[in-house]
Amino acid sequence: MSKTLFAQFTAREGAQDEVARLLRDYAARVREENGNLLFDVYTKASQPRSYWIFEVYEDEAAFQRHLKAPHGGPFNAALGPLIEEHASRLTFLDPVDLTSLAPMA
């Protein structure tokens, strides 16, 4: 089963451009990882300093490889001082099997 997560954080005032540069480079590297299916970066329309990242990995093993990738540590170290939170907030997601639901009457 695929491993899906949603990460979110808020860039500090004035740090948006540096955060965007870091994310551009990091996203390119993550997308090249074996087992990464999706790494999309968004900002909230009403709060452009609010970043939302949607990630999908082939399976748990691919996600574990992602966590051990050599570019993750330096990215997180560089990102830490640029965001308002202590770290990215991660939400792990499970797919809903819509085929098993009864049809609406």
CATH number of the domain enclosing 65: 3.30.70.100
Q: Does residue 102 belong to any structural domain of this protein?
A: no
Structural domain including 59 reads: 3-94
Say yes or no to pLDDT of 105 above 80. Answer: no
% of the chain exceeding 90 in pLDDT = 89
Say yes or no to pLDDT of 59 above 90. Answer: yes
Q: Does residue 89 belong to any structural domain of this protein?
A: yes
Intra-chain end-to-end CA distance of the chain, in Å: 31
Q: What is the mean pLDDT of residues 64-71?
A: 98
- The number of domains in the chain is 1
Say yes or no to pLDDT of 91 above 80. Answer: yes
